[in-house]
Every structure is written in structure tokens, then in C-alpha cells.
A and B are shown apart, each in its own frame.
Chain A
Amino acid sequence: MTAAESTEKKKKVKILTGNHAAAYAFRHARVGVVSAYPITPQSPVVEKISEFIRDGKLKANFLLVESEHSAAAACCAASATGSRVGTATSAHGLMLMYEMLPWASGTRLPIVINLATRSCGAPWSVWDDHSDFITVRDVGWIQFMCEDNQEIYDTNFQAFKIAEDPRVFIPVIVAYDGYILSHTMMPIKLEKQEDIDDFLPPINHHINLSNISEVKGVGPVTTPNIIKRAEGTAPGYYEFRYSLQKALENSIDIIKEVHDEFAKKFGRSYGNGFFKTIKTEDADTIIFAMGSVSAQARTVIDKLRVEGIKIGLVSLRLFRPFPIKYLREFFKGKKNIIVFDRDIGYGYEGVLCYELKAALYGLKDAPFIKGYIVGLGGRDVKSEHIIQGVHKALEESEKGEISYKTEFYGLDLDKLDFLD
């Protein structure tokens, strides 16, 4: 390598926060319309995009609207008019967008939302957990959770490519932990524009209202049953929603295809595209988590192995569609799974935990599964919590005990006077 080549290579590595990684991804993906509303901890994404547009580095139309509800509605409309469209939000912003989320998936609009995760009030908390991310699991979007800033940048290109694939046409959420990634700087390899263009060609939208020679009614009324008229056949609501579920099921193959193509072209892969595995080959016990919780769990694997526990980690990347088939294959023959949820399905248990239990239902010699809640509202998830959780779970597994009460780590109840 010549000195010039070496400098060129170095130049492409920038130290960026997770939010800015998302903004660079939008720039390199040549997003055509962005519509957003500020919310902590997402705001730096849209601030950076505004700078890119001011400096002529991104030729996008940035619509600064008066609420997230309007941001999502404007994104839907701009997408239906044929543009590549993206936005970013957090917690209450996503809650306010909620009405538009099944609208987008039902209309099959390939929008990408970057979600800097944050807990949902009340009480107010700007800090991180995954409760916003898990709350939208049933609206028909594809959902990724990233573990570092490079993954945020890379996953965005994959997200647009998957969303815009004619076999898919489903919107995507790319999530990353608020503050822990959104505001933490890491070195990121930025790719050349022409290489990204090659991977992600311009959008070819299936609706495109801007083509006025083709008259369309987008999103009108459906009925419980199919209606046949001389002009054509109108599918019922049921057929529409069936096709969304089928497209989500089939998208698993396309998600893998796109992940593998990205890996081949840019040399970075994320496990099998659905989940990443760390020291799992000889492991009989597996920690199952996503995002910042996985990142913390990575640090304790070796410590636990010194104790003689054959343990590994599975870090979930694709939350929807839930990669059932791949998880069942992977967990076949494993003895114990310990799930750490940075979220809770109130009145039940951690969402990742019950999703995994359902996915492994009926597996022969199914593993023992125990879940814990950690780190709600930005409480630190510490190595000791994960170590204690693993120890306790293994004891219960040994005794064949199953607890029906949700267990938490990192609570400081003894410091609260009113509980005396």
C-alpha cells in the first residue's frame, strides 16, 4: 500500500456518535425526503441531516413538521409519491406515530425509521430502555436492534434495500440504545458513495403518485369480503393483511440475502443476519439479549467460563420478523437459556423471554429458559447482574424449579424509606 492509499483508507474512518452514524447512513443512502420532529435522544440525527442539506452534501427535502404524528404521515405520503423516505425518533415520538405505523405497513410503504431507544413515561425519563421498540412489535414492520455504531450505519443500507425489494415492500425500524449508542463516539468505516450506490440503487416504488398518468386510489375503504365488479376485483381487508404477514414471513430470506450481499461487498457481517453468536460452539448455556444488554453480556462470558460454565451469548439483531426457524435450529440440544430483557410486557414478563419461549415451543428436549428484567429507564446494567442471574438460573435449572414471578436486577429498593 502506498502512503496515498493508506491516507485514503484512514480518511474513511470517522469517529461518530450513533446518531451521526444514522445521519451519515441517510446521506449515503441518498434519502429523498426526511420528515421529523425533535426528541431526546434522537435529535442530533435530524440536526446533522439539516447540516448535510445546508452544505449541499445531501440533496433531500427536509420537512420539519409540528409533531411526530405529522412526521410519520408526511413520510407515508412522500413515500407513496415515490421518494426514498426516512425519519428518526424515540419513545413518545414513536408512540405519537403509532397510528401511522400500521398505515405504512398496510400500504406497503418502504420507509425507514431510526429509533434511538428511550423509556416511555410516566414518569418522565429520557434514558434508555427498549420499551418503545417492543411496543410496536405487532404493527407489521421489520425491526432491527443494533449493538454498535458501525452496525447502525451498515444496517440502514440493508434496511432500505430490504424495504424497497419488490418481494418485500415493508417499512423498517433500525433501533439502537439511546445515549449508550446515540451519544457515544466510536470509530466507523464510512463507505464510498459509488459503492453504496452500487449496493443500493434508486428506489423503484410500486405506488408512485407522482406519475399522474396512472390514476390510483391509495388506501381507500375495504370490506370484510372480496367485491367483484365489472371494473375489477377489490380484495377484502383480510386478504390485504394476509399478504402482509406472508411478505413478512418471506422477508426472512431476503433479509439474509441482503445481509450476505453486504458482507461480501463491504467485508462486515452480523452473525447470520438475524443474530450474532459469541462462544456458543461448545456452550450448553446461552445468554439471550439484544442491543446494549448484549454488549454488557459479552464482557462476562470469559469470567463465567473460568468458573467452568460452558456459556455463550446470542445477541438478537432481527426482532421482527422473529427468526423462529433459525432460533429453533440453533437452540436444539442447548440446556439452559438465560434471557435479559431491557423491557417488560407489563402483567407478563420480559418480551424477549416470552417471544423466545414461544419460538421454541414443542422443541424436543427443549432448553430450560429463565428471564430477568434489567436496566429500565437507563439504570446501569452491570456485569454482576448478569453473573448473578446466570448463577441463580443454573441453580433453578438443576433443581427443575420454574418461577412464575418476574425478577429484576439492579433495583435499589432498600434505599427507599417509604418501603420500610
Chain B
Amino acid sequence: MDIVEEEFINPGTRMCAGCAMQLIYRFALKALGPNTILTVPASCLTVLHGMQGFCSTKVSVLHTPFATTGAAASGIVASLEEKGLADNICVVAFAGDGGTSDIGIQALSGAAERGTNFIYACYDNEAYMNTGVQRSSSTPLGAFTATTPGGKIRPKKNMPRILEAHGIPYVATANGSYPIDLYDKFKRARDIKGTRYFHILSACPPGWRFDPKDTIYIGRLATETGFWPLYEIINGKFVLSQPSKKFLDPAKRKDIEQYLSAQKRFSNISKQDIESYRNYIRDQWNEIKRRLENQ
């Protein structure tokens, strides 16, 4: 696949060194192209977008309060429809995991239920990173955050399944360490009508506590251990993405301990929690297998 050369993020943004989200945003915006209107809530993306008076992207962005991303996107779409411009302009909401799975879930659910014609992308760095690493419902089991100093005692919320239950035409997972897969999916989603949902794992060096040079490596481990499978659900049909296909075979998967031990946020994780991860991955892949065989 040819990747568009034009960049839609201006140089000199203020992201942390090694932030996967910058890569995710860069490739997503390349795939979406110039006829796009963005909306973002309070999140690390607010930092990327910079100060009043400047725009750090080559397409317009509407900043909106934390809980409102799905509603703000709905408002933009409603106005474009009123003006007869909805077919030419793609409305895209980009929010973090807290803005999606916690405070923004109601507005997102409403927008999806209404079949709002937009793309919603959650970049999941698995905690409130912009406010200094507090737990969200997307923080994984055993992870240290500033508000779970003993490690989180519950597993993360499965947002793609929740969105799939809304009967929307497109749900996909992605991972900042697989930018071509991500680019390809945004290209495909752009041409589908209705609500399209992305859940993208975004490795975060300061929040996950690893060296910024290891971002791609850590992100890949998430998929290689089978913890973060890459897939699409297009009109109900489950499609396993190329990078994840070989992990249908459990023998090809790396052990989850490799992923967990590479990040200091899991440094105090219990043996029991590691076993829970192994069970979770096993059950997840049994479910994927079942789905692939029964459609």
C-alpha cells in the first residue's frame, strides 16, 4: 500500500518523546485526507493541538469538553447535513480511553445508537495520562497508576464489544506499532456510511514506565502475546487482520510475562494476576476462533 506523503500534523507538536499517539494520529490523518473535520475532548491530543490562535493540524478541529465527544461530532454532522455537505466531509472524533470508556461513554453510545455518520477513534493509553496517570476503566489488571498504587484489581473494559453491540457497520482495533494496518483501516472506514469505531492501543512511555526508544517494541509485544488482537468487524463479519493471523496458533504467541515485565507499571503484579492474563488471552482467542468458524 502507498502511504500518502502529505503530512496533516504540523511540525513541532508538544507530545512526549516516544508517544505512540502521535504516530497513530499522523497515519490516521493521512488516510482521512483534507476533507475532514476533527473534534477532540480534553486529552493528550489537546496538548498536541496546542494553543489558542494556532492550529497544529492541516484540517480544522473543534475542541469540546470531556464528556461530549460523541455529541459534538453529532452536532457537526447535523450542521453539515443541513447544509448538504455531509457527503463530502468526513467528521472524525479522536478521544482518549478515559474520554471514551468513562466520562464520554454516554455521548458515544447515543451517537452510535443514532447511527451518526462519523468515525470515532479511541487512542487507548490505558489511563488518564494527560492529568498525570490516574486509572480509567480501560486500565488493565495489575497496572500501577497514581490512583491504583497497589495495582488495579479489575481488568479493562472491552469497548469494541460494547460498540459492536450497538449494531454499527464498522468496528476495528489497531495498534500504534502497526501503522500500515492502521492506515489501511482508516482508508477503508472513511468510505463506509454510519458510525465507525476504532480502538487503538497507544503505548505511553511515562505512563507505562518504559524507555521512549521501546515504544514500537512494547506495542508489538501487546499483539504478539495475543493480548491485543488486531481485527475488524465489518457489518457483523469478523475479519482477523494480517499481523494477528498467525496468533490463532497459541504456540506462535509470546508469553504475556514478556509484555508485562517490560513495563514498570506491572512491576508488582501477582502470580495470580499473570495467570488471569493467560486465561483472558486463551478465552479471547477461543472466542475469535469460534467467530471465524461460525460466520
Tell me whether B76 and A81 are in contact (CB under 8 A).
yes
- Check: A248 CB closer than 8 A to any chain B CB: no
Interface residues of B (CB under 8 A from A): 34-37, 39, 46-47, 49-65, 67-68, 70-76, 78-83, 85, 89, 106-107, 109-110, 113-114
Taking the nearest CB of chain B, how far is it from the CB of A68, in angstroms? 10
Q: Are B53 and A235 in contact (CB under 8 A)?
A: yes
Task: Tell me the nearest residue of chain B to A233, going by C-beta.
Answer: B53
* Chain A min CB distance to B149 (Å): 29
Considering only residues 53-87 of chain A, those with a C-beta below 8 Å from chain B are 59-61, 63-67, 69-71, 73-83, 85
Given A33-B79, A60-B82, verify A220-B67 contact (CB < 8 Å): no
Q: Give the distance to chain B from A66, nearest Cβ to Cβ, in Å.
A: 3
Whether A70 lies near B62 (C-beta < 8 A) is no
* Interchain residue pairs with CB less than 8 A apart (26): A59-B82, A61-B79, A65-B74, A69-B68, A70-B70, A70-B106, A74-B71, A77-B62, A77-B75, A81-B62, A81-B76, A83-B79, A103-B65, A210-B85, A210-B89, A212-B36, A216-B61, A217-B52, A217-B55, A217-B63, A218-B60, A220-B49, A220-B52, A232-B54, A233-B53, A234-B54
Residue contact A220 to B83, C-beta cutoff 8 Å: no
Q: Which residue of A lies closest to B51 (CB)?
A: A234
With contact pairs A73-B71, A74-B71, A80-B62 given, residues A212 and B35 touching in the complex (Cβ less than 8 Å)? yes
A100 at the interface (CB under 8 A from B): yes
Q: How far is the CB of A283 from chain B (nearest CB, A)?
A: 48
CA distance A209 to B53 in the complex (A): 15
Please, which residues of chain B bring their CB within 8 A of the CB of A232?
53-54
Cα of A70 to Cα of B56 in the assembled complex, Å? 27
Q: A308 interface residue, CB < 8 Å from B?
A: no
Closest 9 CB pairs of A and B: A77-B75, A66-B110, A234-B53, A81-B79, A73-B68, A70-B71, A74-B75, A217-B55, A73-B71
- Complex Cα–Cα for A52 and B51 (A): 42
Name which of A141-149, A175-183, A221-229, A373-381 contacts chain B: A221-229
Assembled-state Cα–Cα distance A33/B85 (Å): 14
In the assembled complex, the Cα of A85 lies from the Cα of B79 at a distance in Å of 9
Q: Measured between C-beta atoms, what is the minimum distance from B78 to chain A in Å? A: 4
CA distance A33 to B74 in the complex (A): 11
Bound CA–CA A61/B52 (angstroms)? 30
Contact of B79 among A65, A78, A234 (CB under 8 A): A78
Contact across chains for A78 and B55 when beta carbons are under 8 A apart: no
Interchain CB contact under 8 A, A65 and B110: yes
Instruction: Say if the beta carbon of A400 comes within 8 Å of chain B.
Output: no
Flag if B35 contacts A221 (CB, 8 Å). no
Contacts of A221 in B (CB 8 A): 46-47, 49-52
B52 touches A235 (CB 8 A): yes
Q: Are A218 and B61 in contact, with the CB atoms below 8 A?
A: yes
A223 to B53, CA, bound (A): 11
